[in-house]
Amino acid sequence: MVVAKADPVAGSDRIGHRFADPKLLAQALTHRSAGTPHNERLEFLGDGIVNLLIAEVLFQRWPRADEGALTRARAELVREASLATIARELDLGTRLTMGPGEMKSGGHRRDSILADALEAVVAAIYLDAGLEACRACVLPWFESALAALPVGKPEKDPKTRLQEWLQGKQKPLPSYELVGESGEEHARHFQIRCRTADPPLAAEGEGNSRRVAEQAAAAALISQLPRR
């Protein structure tokens, strides 16, 4: 099988770490479609490290934030779309080693694959140089997203706000229905309808993932809720 291969050293300056063992970076940027060794084990380790680093920095920067606010902020920073955005800024997609089928289908642009690759790179840095070096390299990637969060009190997402409004009034929870789905495999587009039974309302939302579309639908329905 012919695979599209990445240069394990090229672009490491953009990552911000010069690898003593370039094979770690090469493995971090190898998708399972290209054979073994690939990056899935590194992704597992990197997921835990990213969560630790983000939890640590939020704990330090927001001394008055409660557990709920810290949890919501961490979830926003480490969600798939956020990690994929950073991966694109580091130009990881163009350097992924993938099987021909995955490359042809646009896998190097897919959020899930980019987010996994970013976590694998984090693990590779950790294994190459230790936690302190990993912290120093990785946290700057998140700085702009950290700065954009409302300090201490990140707003709850629309689905959570809608659920809490209904629960507070002892009403049934909303339902979410897939109305439409279109686009190429690497660029799917979803349309979701959100419904509430009491009050009887419905609203639709769109996005590049079911999660994003559901949030948009919930936000649209919230705008219809009675003010009292």
Q: Provide the annotated active-site residues.
A: 47, 119
* Pair 24, 127: CB distance under 8 Å: yes
Q: 């587009």: which residue's tokens?
A: 189
Distance CA 188, CA 119 (A): 23
Is the Cα dihedral 80, 81, 82, 88 positive or negative? positive
7 CB-near residues (< 8 Å, 6+ apart): 95
The answer to whether 89 is a known ligand-binding residue is no
Give the containing element (helix H, strand E) for 177.
strand 175-182
Q: Which residues pair with 12 in a beta bridge?
A: none
Residues in the chain: 228
* Pair 217, 176: CB distance under 8 Å: yes
Which of 211, 216, 228 shows the shortest CA–CA distance to 158?
216
The answer to whether 116 is a known ligand-binding residue is yes
The answer to whether 111 is a known ligand-binding residue is no
Q: Which two tokens stand for residue 153?
A: 């009190």
Annotated binding-site members: 43, 116, 119
Annotated binding-site members for Mg(2+): 43, 116, 119
